[in-house]
Amino acid sequence: MIELILGGARSGKSRVAELRAQSAYENNQSTDKKMVYVATARVYDDEMTERVELHKLRRPEHWLLVEEPLKLSDVLKTYNDTDSIILIECLTMWLTNLLCEPDPDVYSLEKQKLIKQLQQSQAHILLVSNETGLGVVPMGELTRRYVDEAGLLHQTIAQMSERVTLVVAGLEQTLKSPE
């Protein structure tokens, strides 16, 4: 199962994803079940350090933390089994990391690898991402590319997902559901 959970900054999307992941973990009957939290952020300043600490405090101790800012497909490949619940936090941070790489083609390559691995995955995957396309069109070239690429990435993953949720003010709006 693939779930995409979208929302703006401080919308509550991470909390929704964490609660869903924990519920999926508790409902998994396997004795080998794993809860894998994939953090894509790179910590550059005190403000980001505080955000990371808040996320750490909310996570249960049994969750395995994998810090991977670029190669999400490698993580999905490592945990490609029905015993794994994988929460990726977050796609837009991953996108930012890749767009800031010196090689301009690295994003396209990593995106293709991610999509391929999502198609092959047996794990329950929850992807958290910022919905950035609802606001003003940015002025800078890199920022416009970021918004465009995020929108295209969201469309691709939403088509693959069994469930898509938009979170606004802590409230969930179901956009696509398996029911």
Name the residues annotated as catalytic.
55
CA 167, 155, 40, 1 torsion: positive or negative? positive
Q: DSSP label at 61?
A: T
Instruction: Return all residues near 3 (Cβ < 8 A) that are at least 6 apart.
Output: 17, 20, 124, 125, 126, 127, 161, 162, 163, 164, 165
Whether 65 contacts 118, CB under 8 Å: no
Whether 101 contacts 107, CB under 8 Å: yes
Identify the burial level of 94 via C-beta atoms within 10 angstroms of its C-beta, where 0-12 means exposed, 13-18 middle and 19 or more buried: buried
Residue 66 has which token pair?
């994998």
CA atoms within 13 A on the CB side of 115: 15
